[in-house]
Amino acid sequence: MSSEVPSPRAHWALTVLLLAYVLSFIDRNVMAILVGPIRESFEISDFQYGLLHGLAFTVFYTFLGLPIGRLADRSSRRTIIGVGVLFWSVMTCACGLVRSFAGLFFARMGVGVGEAALSPPAHSLLSDVFPATLLPRAMSIFTLGITIGGGMAYMIGGWVLGAVGDAELSLPWVGSLEPWQLTFILVGLPGFVIGALVWTIREPVRRGRSTADGESAPVGEVLRYFRAHGRLYGAILGSVSMLSVLGYGTITWYVEMLIRNFGAQASQVGPTFGWIFIIAGSIGALSGGLLAERWGSRYRDANLRVVVLAALLWLAPGIVGPLMPTQGGALLMAAPILFLMSSYFGPAIAALQTSTPNEMRALASALLLFSANLFGLGLGPPLVGALTTHVLGGDDTLHLALAGLSAVFAPLAAVTAAWGLKAYRLRLIDADA
């Protein structure tokens, strides 16, 4: 493969991994359109639902990412991803078969276990099949899975709820199922096909290793490296974590806010929000990668500059959107929110990968996901639920909680990313030397 032109194998790997990433976000986010039915079935509060949506998934997803990243730095990334896809698909189907809050909680934990096996090895694998100059674009295309999958989750959930209504279904060997349970089963089944496709990817040769024997670096060496570049990694991980709190908190509760504030029907507003998510989010993801590429000829720190810009621009629509007096206005403001939410992640991953030796890259990605999901997915949805339940005074304050989230976390993320710009430039200079 030319140093500047990806091979057909690279494009195929990106295609399959994108499909897997799309599915992962469908399976993890479909609950966002099912807030009402799940709360009604189990008679739980916003805060409890936030724990179910966020914490249950995040516990194992977050903590298993680190050993999986370590494993991916020394063994077959393809195998790790394939097993993970199959496992989380089984557990997503299991979410539709449970009969209790505790059962759904543990099934969601299982989804998190499987999905932990995707991103760290995928980031590392893509870094070996695409040249560094095209990596921001490749990572941005990969992160389209967030927007396409997240949007499809709302659409599928809305369609199922609209088609089935309040009726219960009965399946052989399973028994009666509520519409929200059927939704989980339907979104879980495609994973068995995609999991098989993963094994068609050829494991690439690892490039850019600094260890003489080609093995993964010892843990102590990795920790010393991260400490030596603490400002750089603190800026990347910190800013992404803050934006993840904001992003996960927003997409988990935004549709439910429309339902509560304007009396919207989930079967109608879900697909509408889903289309906005897919279109605006996908444009945002691609734009972030292309902007980083364009700025790359002028600024060494272009990847991290995109993160700063996205955080700054997020502040206004993030506050105004939830406070709009009409449903149409709130949906209109959702477009720039979802655009910006999707624009920064690909460049942030590229910043991390280009500043980290190959034998540490999967672990570095695991650390990024550990931080982003521990705080973002683990804190974002429960924080919004805690604000409505315990601080602001009830279900009808959801719009205030979402606006407050943007007012705090968007500027904090911008400042944190800007703090690391110089360190990022210096690390790239050292890498080129």
Lowest mean pLDDT among 97-111, 199-213, 309-323: 199-213
For residue 350, name the pLDDT band (cuts at 50, 70, 90): confident
Compute the distance between CA of residue 107 and CA of residue 90 in angstroms, rounded to an integer.
Answer: 9
For residue 150, name the pLDDT band (cuts at 50, 70, 90): confident
User: Which pair of tokens denotes residue 144?
Assistant: 């389209």
- Section 337-342 average pLDDT: 94
Compute the distance between CA of residue 322 and CA of residue 392 in angstroms, rounded to an integer.
Answer: 15
For residue 283, name the pLDDT band (cuts at 50, 70, 90): very high
pLDDT, position 215: 57
Question: pTM score, two decimals?
Answer: 0.79
Per-residue pLDDT of 246-280, as tens digits, reads 999 998 899 999 999 999 888 889 899 999 999 99
Residue identified by tokens 């807030």 is 35
Give the mean pLDDT of the chain.
87
Q: Which CATH number fits domain 8-205+216-432: 1.10.1740.10, 2.40.30.30, 1.20.1250.20, 1.10.3720.10?
A: 1.20.1250.20
pLDDT, position 363: 74
**240 near 371, Cβ under 8 Å?**
yes
Going by C-alpha positions, the residue among 366, 378, 372, 369 that lies closest to residue 58 is 378
pLDDT, position 167: 65
Residues 6+ apart with CB under 8 A from 195: 20, 82, 85, 86, 89
Beta bridge mates, 177: 169
Going by C-alpha positions, the residue among 30, 53, 68, 154 that lies closest to residue 109 is 53
pLDDT, position 138: 85
Going by C-alpha positions, the residue among 255, 378, 382 that lies closest to residue 327 is 255
